[in-house]
Amino acid sequence: MLRTDDGHIIRLEDYRPTDFAIHHVEMLVRLMEGAAEVVTDITLERRPETSETAPLVLDGDELVLTGLHLNGEPVTAEQFDASPDQLTVRGLPARGRFVLRVETRLSPETNTQLMGLYRSNGVWCTQCEAEGFRRITYFLDRPDVLATYRVRLEADRASAPVLLANGNPMESGELDGSRHFAVWDDPHPKPSYLFALVAGDLDPLEDRFTTASGRNVKLVIFTEKGLSHRATYAMDALKRSMVWDERRFGREYDLDVFNIVAISDFNMGAMENKGLNVFNHKYVLLDPDTATDSDYAGVETVIAHEYFHNWTGNRITCRDWFQLCLKEGLTVYRDQEFSADERSRPVKRISSVHGLKAQQFPEDQGPLQHPVRPTRYREINNFYTATVYEKGAELVRMIETILGAENFRSGMDLYFERHDGEAATIEDFLRCFEEAGDTDLSQFALWYHQAGTPTLTITEQYDGGQLTLILEQDLAKGAAGTGTHPFHMPIRFGLVSRAGEDLAIEPVAGEAEIEGDVIHLTTSRAELVFEVGGERPLVSILRDFSAPVTLRHDQPREARLALAALDPNPFGRWRALTDLTGDMLRSASLSETEGRGATYDPAVIEALCRSASDEALEPALRALMVTLPGEPEIARLIGSEIDPEAIHRARRGALRALAEAGGPEFERLRASLSDGSAPFSADAASAGRRALRAALLPAVAIAQTSAAPLFAEFEQASNMTDRLSAISALVQLFPGSDETRSALDAFYRRFESDALVLDKWFTLQATAPSDGSVEAMERLRQHPKFTLGNPNRARALIGGFASGNQRGFNRADGAGYRWVAEQLGELDRLNPQTAARLATAFRSWRSFDAPRRAAAEAALRDLASRNDLSRDLSDILTRTLG
């Protein structure tokens, strides 16, 4: 059953168009209990440049062929070869269109990979990106084959009153017995990965939207029965996304209906199928009692992201999967901009940068490193990565910085105009900005091709009223071996006076061009000299993180403390403080490792306290500033020979130091930020107040001698955000206490039947810092509510532990590694994609100390030596070990 590894590598340089074009697809899908029958009429035509005898070779994956006709006549046995993963047909017409009818029989109930057609809680649904359509029918299943589709669905009315596919609804009606049908037509040519159908007993939440040019669109979000009231925020986010894309990019929706379906079992976040987005219900269902503020923000982002794909992904798609960042990087950039406009720009930027450093930097600096536009892959599903998505978004942002807002918008307009209806490449995309900005982006393009995080080193010299900045960039030769040429780095900066004002930038000499507040560094080294007068300014460099680099700025501690207090650029304040805290925790951890007691710089602790209560800053920003870096973040700052126990002790110590300095003030602040008995509101300002209260809670709680006050806070919480921050603090700070046990039990009893909340319950315990964590994990694994069959549940427990419990996963005796490896082996038999994704938790194994490295390697090799591994998992394991 399983696709076992065949070692086959797909290469960009081998790209060539298909021999045949597909103009149109007509499908009849009969859904029954236990089976589905699919009849697909594919209208094909040999391309003029194709030889007259070339056979048609269609992709399949675990398919069973039940019929094959050419223009209505059965195809004879000599004319074709069919295997589960390929259908070859010979002797097809030399010119003109012909119709090939392909019949297949599927078993959605036993499809545990969740690719192709499967059933989730009884609902029939599909996931076709990247290569799932070939699990439904034999096809030219690649993104550069664009066709119109008309789909007829037939099912039992009782089990599937709702029948959906892409495009607009055409007709529907009754059939013999208890069955019915519906026909959908999608007039926009699309690649097969955007195909979708859904059938089931679902509840609709309906609304309408009128586009700028007056098209009246029916919006529907379908949920499982009885849950549609939890989709109201998602609906609101959808309408705001539609307005935003019209205003910001002039992009309108282009069908009469827009449907979203929320389902329980889904490998990823969501999918942008044309006119029929399918979502992991985690990114649709919300209410104050079950969802946190970050869940609300996540829903808003993902709803926007999938909607924005309608233009960046669907109308303009990718020529091949190497171009994945063309749609994903660009669409992440768009959803980030949307959130920045809807909420707070600095807060959004800081969160994005924080996420980039936590996810993308380790990927780019470890064995899974690859360029944003890769040139080879074994399993494309393993390239839906932080590098393609988040670093891809950073590259689009840099284009905007380099061109300026206006030229950037013209470049986007040109891209939409020129490539609408096409399958495009990164080169096509860049050319639009070169023309719009009348500039050469060939050096900039290296960002797409060279893997790794470059280092930017800044050296300052101040002498006689002149400030010299020496900028050096360096890209270490990485595993991907993709080159180390200097990049075009846009470096936004400011020179700040001691009064906290940006000074006018007056360069007197320079080896790099400066435009406004942006330095264009294009060489490996450049010196810039500024006339600054008698007072040495504070250098606020790489503002808004204008390039995705590791910054080495040997800035005096005193200057950083000053910037943390007064940089007019909020990002600059956050970064100055974060750098100080990071340095403090790094050296505290190293002291712990060496058995010397750690010390905590009182000036840094005081800076943290001051930013928490700085009324000039919005609470959400203060929350980000006062939160100590997490254990994995400290590990990254250390980089090698990591000792997670020392890091854990050092971070605890810092929290205590913070509590000692700020405890009473934090309590006062928390009380003043409380909304009291006011009804819950999900807006950004209210969420920001809750975020600051939550950020201060650990420091307040660690100072208390008992868990009782925290338990009271847990019991009194009137929304999930407050409840979860209280119970997390209990689990983290009072792991063995009766109060923690009672809180976990109460939480379980209350939310036992709510899958999304139960996931939180599993994750809470997976991240608990108890010494017997592996044993606790095994008990949770045996819990009746645990299943590997649901990706969210598997991620909650296994991912929660492997990525959220640094000490437990990286236990020196290797028990954490072995336990996770064992789960991955089991999960791989059901769902290779999710197993492979979870396996990336091992990506930094070489950074730990020797005993841990040895243990991790042994666990990885043991798993890799199994002979029944999927291509997905074996690809990740091979690269992680390589």
Give the binding site for Zn ion (CB under 5 A): 328, 331
Which of these segments, 262-270, 530-538, 588-596, 771-779, binds ligand ARG (CB under 6 A)? 262-270
Query: Choosing among Zn ion, ligand ARG, none, which partner's interface includes residue 369 (Cβ < 5 to 8 Å by kind)?
Result: none
Q: Under rule CB under 6 A, how many of the chain's residues touch ligand ARG?
A: 13
Query: Choosing among ligand ARG, Zn ion, none, which partner's interface includes residue 617 (Cβ < 5 to 8 Å by kind)?
Result: none
3-state helix, strand, coil in the chain (%, to 5): 45, 25, 30
DSSP per position, 83-128 = ETTEEEE-S--SSSEEEEEEEEEE-GGG--S--EEEEETTEEEEE-
**Which has the closest alpha carbon to 443: 422, 473, 481, 408?**
473
- Using CB under 6 A as the binding rule, whether residue 271 contacts ligand ARG is answered as yes
Question: Least CB distance from residue 319 to ligand ARG, whole Å?
Answer: 16
Q: Which of 148, 323, 381, 721 binds ligand ARG (CB under 6 A)?
A: 381
> How far, in Å, CA of 553 to CA of 543, rounded?
13
| 384/761 with CB nearer ligand ARG | 384
| 284/694 with CB nearer ligand ARG | 284
Query: Choosing among Zn ion, ligand ARG, none, which partner's interface includes residue 271 (Cβ < 5 to 8 Å by kind)?
Result: ligand ARG
Answer yes or no: are the C-beta atoms of 517 and 543 closer than 8 Å: yes
Tell me the one-letter amino acid at 276: L
The helix (run of H) or strand (run of E) holding residue 878 is helix 871-881
Question: Least CB distance from residue 551 to ligand ARG, whole Å?
Answer: 29
> Choosing from 306, 460, 631, 633, which is the catalytic residue?
306
| 129/342 with CB nearer Zn ion | 129
DSSP 5: -
Residues in the chain: 882
To 5 degrees, how large is the angle CA 473–CA 478–CA 484?
A: 40
Question: Least CB distance from residue 204 to Zn ion, whole Å?
Answer: 25
| 332/758 with CB nearer ligand ARG | 332
Q: Which of 26, 186, 272, 342 binds ligand ARG (CB under 6 A)?
A: 272
> How far, in Å, CA of 575 to CA of 571, rounded?
6
Q: Which residues contact 223 (CB under 8 A, 6 or more apart)?
A: 202, 203, 205, 230, 231, 262, 281, 284, 285
**Which has the closest alpha carbon to 151: 24, 317, 21?**
24
| 328/379 with CB nearer Zn ion | 328
Pairing of β 197-200 and β 179-190: unpaired
Neighbours of 294 (CB within 10 A): 14
Question: Least CB distance from residue 130 to ligand ARG, whole Å?
Answer: 5
| 306/320 with CB nearer ligand ARG | 306
Answer yes or no: are the C-beta atoms of 479 and 369 closer than 8 Å: yes
Question: Least CB distance from residue 380 to Zn ion, whole Å?
Answer: 14
Question: Least CB distance from residue 305 to Zn ion, whole Å?
Answer: 6
Which of these segments, 212-220, 270-278, 342-350, 780-788, binds ligand ARG (CB under 6 A)? 270-278
Residue whose entry in the numeric block shows the structure tokens 């061009």: 513
Q: What are phi and psi of 101, to 5 degrees?
A: -100, 120
- Using CB under 6 A as the binding rule, whether residue 141 contacts ligand ARG is answered as no
Question: Least CB distance from residue 4 to ligand ARG, whole Å?
Answer: 19
Question: Least CB distance from residue 816 to ligand ARG, whole Å?
Answer: 28
- Using CB under 6 A as the binding rule, whether residue 130 contacts ligand ARG is answered as yes
- Using CB under 6 A as the binding rule, whether residue 128 contacts ligand ARG is answered as no
Q: Which of 384, 571, 711, 751 binds ligand ARG (CB under 6 A)?
A: 384
Q: Which of 162, 205, 270, 756 binds ligand ARG (CB under 6 A)?
A: 270
- Using CB under 6 A as the binding rule, whether residue 328 contacts ligand ARG is answered as yes
SS3 state of residue 339: helix
Q: Which of 61, 287, 306, 601 binds ligand ARG (CB under 6 A)?
A: 306
Residue 774 tokens read as 């592996």
The helix (run of H) or strand (run of E) holding residue 666 is helix 644-673
| 134/488 with CB nearer ligand ARG | 134
| 184/384 with CB nearer ligand ARG | 384
- Using CB under 6 A as the binding rule, whether residue 379 contacts ligand ARG is answered as no
CA-based R_g, the chain, Å: 28
SS3 state of residue 756: helix
Is 306 tagged catalytic? Answer: yes
Question: Least CB distance from residue 309 to Zn ion, whole Å?
Answer: 6
Which of these segments, 201-209, 265-273, 716-724, 758-766, binds ligand ARG (CB under 6 A)? 265-273
| 305/319 with CB nearer ligand ARG | 305
Which of these segments, 269-277, 525-533, 553-561, 639-647, binds ligand ARG (CB under 6 A)? 269-277
Classify burial at 625, counting beta carbons within 10 Å of its beta carbon; exposed 0-12, middle 13-18, buried 19 or more.
buried
Query: Choosing among ligand ARG, Zn ion, none, which partner's interface includes residue 292 (Cβ < 5 to 8 Å by kind)?
Result: none
Answer yes or no: are the C-beta atoms of 67 and 137 closer than 8 Å: no
Answer yes or no: are the C-beta atoms of 325 and 372 closer than 8 Å: yes
Q: Which residues contact 728 (CB under 8 A, 6 or more apart)?
A: 764
| 129/245 with CB nearer ligand ARG | 129
Tell me the one-letter amino acid at 760: K
> How far, in Å, CA of 596 to CA of 601, rounded?
15
Question: Least CB distance from residue 116 to ligand ARG, whole Å?
Answer: 11
DSSP per position, 157-199 = TTT-SEEEESSEEEEEEE-STTEEEEEEEEEEEE-GGG--EEE
| 129/592 with CB nearer ligand ARG | 129
- Using CB under 6 A as the binding rule, whether residue 120 contacts ligand ARG is answered as no
Neighbours of 229 (CB within 10 A): 11
Question: Least CB distance from residue 328 to Zn ion, whole Å?
Answer: 5
Question: Least CB distance from residue 307 to ligand ARG, whole Å?
Answer: 10
Residues 216-255 vs ligand ARG: string with x where CB under 6 A? ----------------------------------------
Residue 220 tokens read as 């529907």
- Using CB under 6 A as the binding rule, whether residue 267 contacts ligand ARG is answered as yes
Pairing of β 168-174 and β 56-59: unpaired
Query: Choosing among Zn ion, ligand ARG, none, which partner's interface includes residue 129 (Cβ < 5 to 8 Å by kind)?
Result: ligand ARG
Query: Choosing among ligand ARG, Zn ion, none, which partner's interface includes residue 268 (Cβ < 5 to 8 Å by kind)?
Result: ligand ARG
| 306/643 with CB nearer ligand ARG | 306
- Using CB under 6 A as the binding rule, whether residue 26 contacts ligand ARG is answered as no
Answer yes or no: are the C-beta atoms of 296 and 682 closer than 8 Å: yes
Which of these segments, 69-77, 149-157, 268-276, 574-582, binds ligand ARG (CB under 6 A)? 268-276
To 5 degrees, how large is the angle CA 451–CA 324–CA 302?
A: 110
**For residue 835, is the peptide bond before it cis, meaning its omega torsion is within 30 degrees of 0?**
no
Active-site residue set = 306
By CB under 6 A, name the binding residues for ligand ARG.
129-130, 267-268, 270-272, 305-306, 328, 381, 384, 833
